[in-house]
Structure 1
Amino acid sequence: MRDEYGRPEPPAAGTEAEVLLGFLDYQRATFAWKISGLDAAGLATALPPSPMTLGGMIKHLAYVEDEWFHVRLLGKQRPAPWDEVDWGSDPDWEWHTAGEDTPEQLHALWQAALARSREATATALADAGMGRLSRYQFRDTGQTPSLRWILTHMIEEYARHNGHADLIRESIDGLVGE
């Protein structure tokens, strides 16, 4: 089922994996709705006093998808373009460089990251289910997050940025909604 904005409704009575993945896909679809149809100027618009833009948010979420699912969950190397970044000199590189990319490049980067994330999730679910531990440990506690934790974190990540996206999009062209 899809809502009036084309977002997939999370199942009300699915398995744990189905519900968490349903909510994550719902949040991803909400973000896709908020960034749809904007040109380079729209994606570069900030809502002062924050310098945050929707283009920066697209690139940031692509990075976060790759970092959590591809790198931390599966233990793989960062894919391009993240593998070439000097993160030590600019830890917010994705936000600062989004204005150099076209809308098409930003959307393609995010879609490729989503595809890798979905593949990584399917691999982890087939391997050990929701309890599948990542290849990453938190530096401060030494704990290893599970796929369950990562999915919950990603729902939170998108929900937070969808609030930002809603305000920025409304300032651009008046588009409002959840």
Structure 2
Amino acid sequence: MSAPVQAEPAGQASARRVLKSVALVLARHEIRSLRRWFEVFDRDILLPILLGEIALHNIGALQNGVARRASTRAPQLPVSPPLACEEEACSLKPCNAYSIAAATGLPRETVRRKIVRLVELGWIHRHDNGHLFITDVALEQFGSMLSARALAELLETADHARRLLGEEKG
């Protein structure tokens, strides 16, 4: 004999419906964003992932107030092309194909191949020692793209999610 199924309280059912609606709104936003990145990067979805990881490695230290060398001057982003980030004077934190492969969980050979493409596009500069740095070209191109349309869509999505969550509480 099976136990009788008890009805879920109305409040829990309502909360579950709202959470499903919020998840759907967020999924729509993510899919639109992925489609856009897919097209911008010539239908190679790994390129924006790798470019983003390299940028996070490089710039993350600046955002956290940590520079490669203790300095009282404000860190300067390199000028490109070509990248004017001499190893001893660069305030960006370097990374390499190995660290990016570890961060993404992608095979090193795949990462190496994709990095070659990013270098060809002028979005990444590779030093002779293998250190990778994002270029100003990439920062300008994708920074403007992110700040314009994507930010507005993100804020709109967040507002929609807040309204749905507010309806559940009210």
Normalising by the smaller structure, the TM-score range is 0.3 to 0.5
TM-score using structure 2 length: 0.33
Structure of larger gyration radius = 2
